[in-house]
Amino acid sequence: MANPEISGVEYQQGTLLGYEIREYLLEKWGRECAYCGEKDTPLQIEHIDPKANGGSNRISNLTLSCNTCNQEKGRQSLADFFATSKRLKHHQPRLALVLKQAKKPLRDASAVNATRWALYQALEYTGLPVEVATGGRTKYNRSRLGVPKTHALDAACVGDVEQLFGWKIPTLAIKANGRGSYKRTLLTKHGFPRGYLMRQKHVQGFQTGDMVRAVVPKGAKAGIWLGRVAIRKTGSFNVQTLNGAIQGISYKHCTVTQRADGYGYHIQTNDKKEEGDRENKSR
């Protein structure tokens, strides 16, 4: 895609093409109203130069605006809209930004697109079946099927998808957290040392990051605690649970359920978009 500024009648063709155009505009205009900067609100496709005044359907003449700005602008030119709107009297610098951004193609998108096709051709050369699709189609499928946005469900909605069954199940998400830090000193916000980390990595067979099950029979910490452990030389550990850290638990009450492997695990509930950090419980 040497020039991503699509033009002409393509803007009006087909439901899926509408999703492609909208995804492009969302990326280009930062997912906010181009006029007032409002975020986290439904955005509408808006003609910078109104069609009633001869404005075209070229992508360079399209932007995104909130319903209030769209209705208020109406058939006005961009300059008249910013000059007469009481709401935008403090947003005058945005006028120049809108005009500049309207002419700016997504060159990064062009580079990514070229790389994507090179990858596709390399995969196709292997002789294996390869299918390609766009983010706009994925969003279209998700919207049509009434599926919430999660990484796992986005993957299920890629390409030509007619129906999707059984998606209301938890998904195990795995994230690379690393195996610790080489820094041996904790610093204040001003950069001064406020403590030193112990050099030994194991205490009584445990190391920081291990998943443990701590069963405390009595006392203020009585209960069963599941989570990641932070070791201390004294053998009195901290256990990071879903509801916060439980401090001062003896190693004698802890049992390893999984050794630290540099990854974090949590359960993502697809049907309610809720994430519960149940740390590897599904294993």
Same domain? 249 vs 206? yes
In a domain, residue 280? The reply is no
Same domain? 22 vs 80? yes
Q: Nearest Cα to 76, choosing from 55, 45, 94?
A: 55
CATH of residue 63: 1.10.30
pLDDT at 6: 46
Structural contact between residues 233 and 200, judged by C-beta atoms closer than 8 angstroms: yes
In a domain, residue 90? The reply is yes
Residue whose structure tokens are 């205009």: 29
CATH of residue 190: 2.30.30
In a domain, residue 114? The reply is no
Same domain? 93 vs 43? yes
Q: 223-230 and 211-216 as β-strands: parallel, antiparallel, unpaired?
A: antiparallel
CA distance 30 to 38: 11
Same domain? 65 vs 140? no
Calculate mean pLDDT across residues 38-49: 89
pLDDT at 29: 87
CA distance 142 to 207: 43
Same domain? 82 vs 153? no
239: number of Cβ within 10 Å = 24
In a domain, residue 236? The reply is yes
Same domain? 60 vs 151? no
Same domain? 20 vs 97? yes
Domain total of the chain: 3
- What's the pLDDT tens digit per position in 175-186? 887 776 677 787
Same domain? 91 vs 140? no
- Cα-Cα end-to-end distance for the chain: 45
Which residue range is the domain that position 212 belongs to?
185-264
In a domain, residue 271? The reply is no
Structural contact between residues 46 and 62, judged by C-beta atoms closer than 8 angstroms: yes
Collapsing DSSP states into helix, strand and coil, what is residue 75? Answer: coil
Same domain? 77 vs 33? yes
- What's the pLDDT tens digit per position in 5-31? 444 444 444 455 566 788 788 888 888
Q: Does position 276 have pLDDT exceeding 50, yes or no?
A: no
Q: Residue 47 — very low, low, confident or very high, per pLDDT cuts 50/70/90?
A: very high
Q: Considering Cα of 260, then 261, then 263, then 266, what sign does the dihedral take?
A: negative
In a domain, residue 223? The reply is yes
Residue 49, both tokens = 């130069």
Same domain? 135 vs 211? no
Same domain? 88 vs 25? yes
In a domain, residue 115? The reply is no
Same domain? 61 vs 19? yes
Spatial CB neighbours of 236, under 8 Å, sequence gap ≥ 6: 248, 249, 250, 251
In a domain, residue 235? The reply is yes
Structural contact between residues 42 and 68, judged by C-beta atoms closer than 8 angstroms: no
- What's the pLDDT tens digit per position in 115-151? 888 888 999 999 998 888 877 788 888 888 988 888 8
Q: Cα 193 vs. chain centroid, distance in angstroms?
A: 35
Structural contact between residues 279 and 266, judged by C-beta atoms closer than 8 angstroms: yes
pLDDT at 270: 63
